Chains A and B, each alone.
Chain A
């Protein structure tokens, strides 16, 4: 976004898209409204790797995409496999004078529930396991259809859900938590990081890369396929 608008543009002459309300709302694909300060900017094409910031409040308004759609789809496939491995393999293995103890993430959640902390168990299950998993499945579902030129069934509710699980999923925090837990265990007894820890590390990188790509491309692609602005 180079400059804010020099003057108030004339109202769009073409027919507005009317949906669900009696109000007439015309699409203005030529404009961007900053979601953090309401400043209006002209939309510009962004070169690969460049970002656009709001002229008034400096909020991130858009990115020129570095990672292509096919690659993002491959990332999502890898992420799904690694989440499955990360949840079935132990995160850390302890050896206390010959007695071995190890736990996967679902086992740790279950133990917390059984220890009388169901709220903490559910909170951990949701933010460390379920939301990253749903995020990955939604991305697979949406991208998988869009690259084949199909707008998937339930596209809009799926996009709303994607926004929610992106905000509340915390794989990167969980990743750091596993490292702290391994160090704290190691101060008591001999601790070995498990496959689960490495798998989660990779999941964190993949989800971060997918999240950075944003959702704009998905909306744009579905609009092009569906033939609406």
Chain B
């Protein structure tokens, strides 16, 4: 469908509320710089969320930096009387599952812990850069990409839950135990930061308007 056939909220002075979905038509603008609030639920109304790209960049940069210790540092340690203490990284844990013959689970953990965070960081980079350039390149595909990272983002929390459960369950004193290690903290922070980055990105920036008053900055 050509863009010319579409009427947009900004052209028609219509605001869709992000919380309740109410559509409001602006008949008279607010006095001064009073914020425009949804009459039903008081959520601020914008054609484009303010400072969306700055926030996305900030969370994205923080997530990319923490991604390194999240993968290099051990996320847990196991100990028992026979072998002493062993440190485990995320990749090491996947290796152990694969060696144990659990191909399926090794693949699931690989997707959730390695592929999804990398994919999210890469996809958010593409979305933020193209939005900044007000690009009209592959808009439907980029919209699809945005929906995909929103849908899969929280699955990366998988390894955090696994370690917490192992710490809680494997408690045999001197015979054996599991402890969480600093890599887990970094990994949990990466998951939260990438979710915040995706949540800050306003997908409407994929569709720049000719005479866009709220230019992304």
Q: Measuring CB to CB, which residues of chain A are less than 8 angstroms from any residue of chain B?
A: 4-5, 8-9, 11-12, 16-29, 31-40, 55-59, 91-92, 94, 96-97, 99, 101-105, 107-112, 115-117, 119-121, 123-124, 127-128, 156, 159-160, 163, 167-168, 170, 173-174, 176-181, 183-185, 187-188, 215-216, 219, 223, 228-229
Contact B36 A176 (CB under 8 A): no
Write the nearest CB–CB distance from B8 to chain A, whole angstroms: 4
Q: Are A19 and B143 touching (Cβ within 8 A)?
A: no
| Interface size bracket, B side | 35 or more
Q: Are B47 and A38 in contact (CB under 8 A)?
A: yes
- 9 shortest interchain CB distances as A-B pairs: A108-B168, A33-B16, A177-B161, A103-B168, A23-B30, A24-B28, A181-B165, A25-B24, A24-B27
Chain B residues in contact with chain A, CB under 8 A? 1, 3, 5-12, 14-16, 18-31, 34-43, 45, 47, 93, 96-97, 100, 102, 105, 108-109, 112, 139-140, 143-144, 146-147, 154-155, 157-172, 175-176, 179-180, 184-185, 188-189, 192, 195, 199, 203-204, 206-207
Cβ 8 A contact of A124, one of B11, B160, B199: B160
Known A-B contacts: A116-B180, A180-B158. Give 11 more (CB < 8 A). A20-B39, A21-B30, A21-B35, A21-B36, A26-B27, A40-B12, A59-B143, A92-B165, A99-B175, A123-B160, A185-B169
Q: In the complex the two chains form, is A37's CB within 8 Å of B203's CB? A: yes
Give the docked Cα–Cα distance between A176 and B156 (Å).
11
Q: How far does the Cβ of A170 sit from chain B's closest Cβ, in whole Å?
A: 5
Q: State A215–B18 Cα separation when bound (angstroms).
A: 12
Knowing A101-B171, A101-B172, say if A22 contacts B34 (CB, 8 Å). yes
Q: How far is the CA of A132 from the CA of B37 in the complex (A)?
A: 29
Contact call A24/B26, Cβ cutoff below 8 A: yes
- Select which of B7, B45, B162 is within 8 A of A177 by beta carbon: B162
Q: List 22 A-B contacts (CB under 8 A).
A: A12-B27, A19-B39, A21-B36, A23-B34, A25-B27, A28-B14, A33-B15, A40-B14, A56-B140, A57-B140, A96-B175, A96-B176, A99-B172, A101-B172, A116-B180, A117-B180, A120-B163, A121-B164, A160-B43, A173-B112, A178-B165, A216-B21
Q: Which of A99, A111, A127 contacts B167, CB < 8 Å?
A: A111
Residue in B109, B165, B176 whose Cβ sees the most chain A Cβ within 10 Å:
B165
Tell me the bound Cα distance from A105 to B207 in angstroms.
44
- Tell me the bound Cα distance from A172 to B110 in angstroms: 17
Please indicate the chain B residues that have their CB under 8 angstroms from the CB of A97 in the complex.
Answer: 175
Whether A124 contacts B37 by the Cβ 8 Å rule is: no
Instruction: State the CA gap A160–B40 with chains docked (Å).
Output: 12
**Interchain CA distance A126-B199 in the complex, whole Å:** 18
Tell me the nearest residue of chain B to A116, going by C-beta: B180
Label chain A's interface by main secondary structure. mixed
Q: Is the CB of B25 within 8 A of A25?
A: yes
Q: Is the CB of A101 within 8 A of B41?
A: no
> Which chain A residues lie closer than 8 Å to B159 at the CB level?
177
For residue A36, which residues in chain B have a CB less than 8 angstroms away from its CB? 143, 146-147, 203-204
Chain A: which residue is nearest B43 at the CB level? A160
A228 vs B20: C-alpha distance when bound (angstroms) = 14
Q: How far is the CA of A206 from the CA of B180 in the complex (A)?
A: 31
Q: Which of B23, B26, B43, B170 interacts with A23 by CB under 8 Å? A: B26
Q: Is the CB of B144 within 8 A of A58?
A: yes
Known: A24-B28, A112-B180. A37 touches B162 (CB 8 A): no
Contact across chains for A228 and B40 when beta carbons are under 8 A apart: yes
Given known contacts A32-B23, A35-B16, A38-B8, A119 and B170 CB-to-CB distance under 8 angstroms: no
Most buried by A among B27, B164, B166: B164
Contacts of B30 in A (CB 8 A): 21-23
Please measure, in the bound complex, the distance between the C-alpha atom of A176 and the C-alpha atom of B27, giving whole angstroms.
50
**A24 and B26 alpha carbons, distance in the complex (Å):** 6
Among candidates B10, B109, B171, residue contacting A38 with C-beta atoms closer than 8 Å:
B10
Cβ A156 vs Cβ B184 within 8 A: no
Q: Which of A25, A91, A120, A187 is the one whose CB lies under 8 Å from B100?
A: A187
- Please pick, from B25, B108, B144, the residue contacting A26 in the complex, using a CB distance under 8 A: B25
* A31 touching B14, Cβ below 8 Å: yes
